Amino acid sequence: MNTIPTLLITGGATGIGAATVRKFVDEGWNVALIDINISEAEALCRSLDAPERLMCVEADTRSLQAMQRAVAMTLSRFGRLDCVFANAGIHRRNTIYDITDAELDLLIAVNIRGTINTVRASIDALAVDGGGAIIINCSDQWFIGKRGNFGYGLTKGALGQITRSLALELGPKGIRVNAVCPSTIATPLVDNIFSTYADTHPDTTVAEQWADEDALFVRGKAGRPDEVADMVYYLAGARFCTGGHYLIDGGLTAQ
C-alpha cells in the first residue's frame, strides 16, 4: 500500500498552482497536476525532476466526466487521494453595465461549475480511510468588493459560500473544506489583466498598474505565489480547520 500522501490540483501549470505543485513535491507528496494547458504542465513536471511522484492530466474542469477521469487516473497511478486544491479559475474585468452574457457564462462555468465538478469527482476517493482535505481558491473578494470586478467577485463570493456548505455536508465523511483567499498575487494571470487593460487605455502602462497595486499593501508589494502555496500546504494538514476562509492579503482588508 502506498503511504505517500497525494495531492490533486487543478490549474497547476502556472502561477499559484505551479508554486503549490513545487511546495508539495518538496514536502514529499505525490502530485496529480490537472490543467487544460498540458504543454506547460508537462514542462513544469520535467523541471522538478521527480517523475515517480508527478503526473500530468489534460482536463477541463467544466466537464464532470473529465474530472472523474482525472481522479481515476490519479488513483490508478498513486493509489490514494488525500487533498484536492480546486485552484483553476479565470478573471475578467467588467461592471454590471458592460458584462456580456457570454463573459458572465464563462466566469460561472469555470470558476463555479469547475470547482463543483472538481469536488464532485473527488469526494468518494477522499472519503476512503477516514477522509482528507479540500481547499478552494477563493479571493479577498469574499470579504470586500472591488470596482471593475463584478463577474469575478460574483463567482468568488459564491465559492466562499460553497466552502461553508461543503464543510458541513462533507464533515461526516471526514473531509475538511477550507478556502484560501488571496489578494493580488504576482502571476501571469495578473500580468495579462494589466496588459489587456493597457491595450485599451493608452494613458497607463503595465508597470504603472503594478506600482499602483503594490502601493495597496502594508509591505509595499503584492503577494507571491509561494506565499499562497504555504497556506495551502498548512490547510492540507490542519485537522481542526474546516469551513474557514484564510486571507493572504498583505493587510489589505485591515486598512
H helix or E strand, kind and range, residue 208: helix 206-214
Q: In this structure, are residues 94 and 150 in contact, taking their beta carbons and an 8 Å threshold? A: yes
Q: How far apart are the first and last CA of the chain?
A: 50
What are 137's three cell numbers? Answer: 481558491
SS3 178: strand
Q: Residue 75 and residue 69: Cα distance in Å, rounded?
A: 10
CB 126, CB 169: distance < 8 Å: no
Q: Is 152 tagged catalytic?
A: yes
Give residue 37's Cα distance to chain centre.
15
- Of the residues 152, 233, 234, 246, only one is catalytic, namely 152
DSSP three-state, residue 182: strand
For the annotated catalytic residues, the residue numbers are 152
